[in-house]
Every structure is written in structure tokens, then in C-alpha cells.
A and B are shown apart, each in its own frame.
Chain A
Amino acid sequence: MVMTTHEEKMRTVRFRVAATPHIVVDSEVCRDSGCSLRACVYVCPANLFVPLDDGGILFNYEQCFECGTCYIACNQEGAIRWSYPDGGYGVTFRES
């Protein structure tokens, strides 16, 4: 099909998940800074940032494209610790 949901899109992508996360979101910083922008929630092409009612963020690194958009978009110093996964791990594009 041409039109697809985000879940259907993500199912086409191959990930080799590393044991340790390459991106860590400090939910306390999100909450304590009262970040109202919540840029990460909108821009992440993998939709990995889930806003919590208490102002925090639930994040899972496993299906990440390693694009860097979240750390560019987040303007709260220290909320996102970002690095690349270990060599050979993470996303592996086959077609793009």
C-alpha cells in the first residue's frame, strides 16, 4: 500500500539493537525546566519521545535513525545526552 501508518513505516526498517542506549534523555530536566516546547515529540522521525503527564519524557533508543534532529531541536541544556551506537549497531538502511 502507498499510504502507511507510522508503525507500518517503522516495521520496514532494520535495527541491530545495542545493549546500551546511545541516547539518554534526562526526564527530570524536561520536567524541572517546564519545557513547554517539547520539540523532541514532534520532530523525531521515529516518534520515540512520549510526553508524560508530569512533564517528563519517556524515551526508548531502540528504533533510532541516529539522525541528530532531537539534540538540535531540544533547547534545554543537558536534557539529551547523544552519541552514536557502537560500530555495526543501530539502524542499517538497505534501500535508501
Chain B
Amino acid sequence: MSAATASESFDVIVVGAGPAGSTAALLCARAGLQVLLLERGEYPGAKNVSGAAFYGSAILNELIPNWWEQAPVERYICRRDIAFMSPTTSVALDFHCAGEGYTTPPYNGFIVLRPRFDRWLAAQAEAAGAFLLTSTVVDDVLRENGRVVGVRVRREQGDIRGKVVIACDGVNSFLAKKVGLQREFHAHELSLGVKEVLGLDPTIIEDRFRLSGDEGIAYEYLGAITEDVHGGAFLYTNRDSLSLGVIGQVSSLVERRKRPYELLERFKAHPAVAPLVRGAKLREYSAHLIPESGWSMKPTLYTDGMLVAGDAAGFCLAAGLYLEGMNYAMQSGLAAAETAIEACRRDRFSARALSGYRKHLKRRNVSTDFRAYRHAPAFVNSARLQNLYPEVVASGMEQLFRVDGKAKRKILPLARQMMRQYQLKPGDMLRDGYQVVRAYLW
């Protein structure tokens, strides 16, 4: 870093060039502020892993109209497939939508690869005037009279002053912890995702998955796919590769003594998955944590001179049907930027001056969504909901469709038999049913 940069003072210092940080930096820079965006990776995205089904297209379109025409996107998502698995069977809900906004701009979602996408997004922040510094670890914040007044980076003369620091440093959020805004996490609040990108010819992908042109499909798997580990799996189609991975709650991986990469192998070998990945060749293996507990992991969101956004603030909706973090990272990044812009305009940076962050988070539907889905993380903590019931559905269907010359059974007696076989108690099922209803229905 040049001496000029070190001695310079910035209006806003953003830590972490993931979707939260780059979006925040972009908006602040457009408002004419002096913005420093710090990233520890060799380039933005070098440390980052997602599926990645990106559902923030409409949000990004507000900032960069028709962004997908210039960004490194793989395929737009017009099909989603949710599969319930037993060891031998899968029952899937196949959602195919050619409706307005799914196969037409701004598109509901895109499959992306983070090292490419994040790099592009950070470049947009730079183009807007933000100063991006990569290969730079932030070790701490600078404090004066209890106020955050900048950051300390791991370099010679590494103190950099800024009026507002926006911590977008991801799931481990060491900055928020250092400042006392965040507590240490428990192993049941985080899941580990292991992922592979497997190269496959585009024409094979299109034939195999019944896709034309730029269409893409996102598969989500629940049930026996992670054995007795609380978790799930995913498979997404890229242009000339597949992204697939397995997600397992850290505490349950420990309890069951399961190695994540062995679950990944078993997932690929499942009879419903094997034909989809046949002939594909491993290009890269990766791993990353996911904050799974949503609302209950939310830190104190701001203090004097500092705001927290994205995964660092626990804004990742990861529960059963959903794995959406990138879009919320962007929405909360924007809300943090709007707050910082107001603070700079008024030249006030106390916690009180930054309290407008709440209002902006609400307006951007972040806090409202997380409050609405605050019961959904119960899913992650429930082996029955996430793994057992989907498996029961799959094996139930297996029996329902079996034709072996024996008397056909109707659904009710079959259900009774399944309950016996899987030792399901009516009381538990009622409670679980209530949980699902509370999590997703109202």
C-alpha cells in the first residue's frame, strides 16, 4: 500500500468484497463518498463459496440495468426441483416456470460461480469510484474513546482511518466479535458446505437436463441424502459444468462422526443422482460455513462508527426450502450504505446517528423477512423435519407404486405401517406439523 493511501482518510471503509461489501461500496461510491474496499483474497471471490443460485437479480438490476448482459453468469434459473430421498428412491417436485420474469428480464435467479461473479461485482464498485485493495487482511478496528474510527490491516503502517466502517467480512465475522457486537457461535448454529464443480459438455448438460440455450435448473435434496446428519444437498447446472454439494450441521457431523467429503461421495452415488453426474470430471473441490440460525444469530447491528451486514450479521436464510444468502447480503449491504451516506451527509457517526440502519433494513425487506422466517431454522435442528420425513415420503411412494401381485394397500394403512417402521409418534408428528406451519405458512 502506498504511503498516500495509508495516511489518507476515507469516508467509508468496507471490509470484505463479497456480495454485501461490493454492493455497499458501489452505492457509497456513487453517492460521491471516498470509499475503501478491503479484501483478504488475492482477488474478490478467491475465498468464497456458494451453490450458487443467486436470487438477487432484480435488486442488482436497480443498480446496474441489464447487469446479466455484462456479468459472468452461468444460466438463468427457470426450473427448480425439490427431491425427497430415501437411500433407494427419490420423490421430486418439479417446478418449471416460463412466466414473466423467470425466462425474461430481470430473471428470477441466475446460477453463478463466486470467484468470477464476486470479481466482476467488485470491479463495478471500483468503476463507481471505490478504491479496492486486495490481498489485505483486516485484523482489528481502530478505536478512540470507544468509537470505531478505522481499521488496522496486517501491513506496514496498517492503520487506516474512516468515518464509518461497514463489516461485511462473512460468516466468521471476527470484526463484529472483536467490537463485542457478536458472540461466539455454537456448532449447532452453523452448517458446513462441501462442494464440487464438475466439468461437463454443454450439449450433454442441455440434453440430460432438458434445457435449451441459457436455461438452468436448481435441484435441492432433502431426506436420507446426508444419512443421519442434519442437512441437505444441491445440484446446479452451470454453462459447461455442474455445481453440487452437501450441507451438514457442524454439531451433527461431530455427533455422528461423519466426514463431509464422504457424504459428498455418497450423494453422487445415489441412484437418482448418479445418472445426472455421469461422465463429469472434477474441476475443483471447496468448503465454506453457512450461518443457519437466522434471527437468533443477529448481532447488535451497529455501534459508534460501525455497521455489520451480510453473513456477518447472520442475514442468510438457510432452512429447508431456502438457501438464500447472496441476495440478503446485497440488500443489507445497500441498507448499510444508505445509512453511511446519511451519516456522512450529516457528519454524525454515533450509534444514534447510525440507528437509521434498522429503518433501511426494514425498507429493503431484510429484517421483515428474517423476522417472518425466525422459526424456520428449527428445521436445521430437527432430524425429523429435514431428514426423516422426506425419507418416509420417498419410501412410502416406493411401496405405493410397487406391483408385486400382493393385495394393493390404500394410503392410510400404508401410512400406519410407515409410522411403525420409522417409529414415528403421533405426538411428535403433530408438534412437527405445527413447526412447519409456523415456519412457513404464517
Contacts and interface: CB of A to CB of B under 8 A. Distances in A.
A32 to B, nearest CB: 21
A69 B281 CA distance: 27
Interface in A66-93: 66-69, 72-73, 75, 84-88, 90-93
Nearest to B274: A2
Contacts of B194: 45
Nearest to A40: B254
Contact of A72 (B250, B269, B278): B250
A70 B279 CA distance: 33
B115 A43 contact: no
B254 A46 contact: no
A86 B60 CA distance: 32
SS class of chain A's interface: helix, strand, loop or mixed?
loop
B185 interface: yes
Contacts of A86: 137, 154
A95 B268 CA distance: 19
A13 B284 contact: yes
B88 interface: no
A2 B134 contact: no
A94 B285 contact: no
Most buried by B among A42, A45, A90: A45
B241 interface: yes
Contact of A93 (B114, B153, B279): B114
Interface string B306-343: 00000000000000000000000000000000000000
Contact of B192 (A4, A67, A75): A67
B284 A93 contact: yes
B261 A47 contact: yes
A42 B41 contact: no
A12 B259 contact: no
B374 to A, nearest CB: 22
Interface in A1-52: 1-4, 6, 8-10, 12-13, 16, 37, 39, 42-43, 45-47
Contact of B115 (A12, A39, A90, A95): A95
Contacts of A84: 40, 137, 174
Contact of B287 (A1, A45, A75): A45
B196 A42 contact: no
Range class of the A interface residue count: 35 or more
Given A65-B286, A69-B289, A93-B47, A87 B250 contact: no
B288 A65 contact: yes
B282 A88 contact: no
Contacts of B48: 93, 96
B288 A67 contact: yes
B257 A42 contact: yes
A73 B251 CA distance: 7
B260 A95 contact: no
Nearest to A46: B287
A3 B244 CA distance: 13
Most buried by A among B190, B194, B287: B287
B419 interface: no
A4 B284 CA distance: 11
A90 B278 CA distance: 32
Most buried by B among A42, A43, A84, A96: A96
B28 to A, nearest CB: 22
A73 B187 contact: yes
B198 A2 contact: yes
Interface string B155-189: 10000000000000001101000000000011100
B45 interface: yes
Nearest to B170: A68
Contacts of A10: 285
Given A65-B288, A93-B115, A96-B197, 14 more contacts: A2-B198, A4-B285, A12-B283, A42-B257, A43-B260, A45-B194, A68-B172, A69-B190, A72-B250, A72-B289, A87-B135, A88-B135, A92-B41, A95-B283
Interface of A: 1-4, 6, 8-10, 12-13, 16, 37, 39, 42-43, 45-47, 65-69, 72-73, 75, 84-88, 90-96
19 contacts: A2-B281, A6-B261, A9-B285, A39-B254, A42-B257, A43-B250, A45-B287, A68-B289, A73-B254, A87-B40, A87-B153, A88-B40, A92-B41, A92-B47, A93-B46, A93-B47, A93-B286, A96-B195, A96-B197
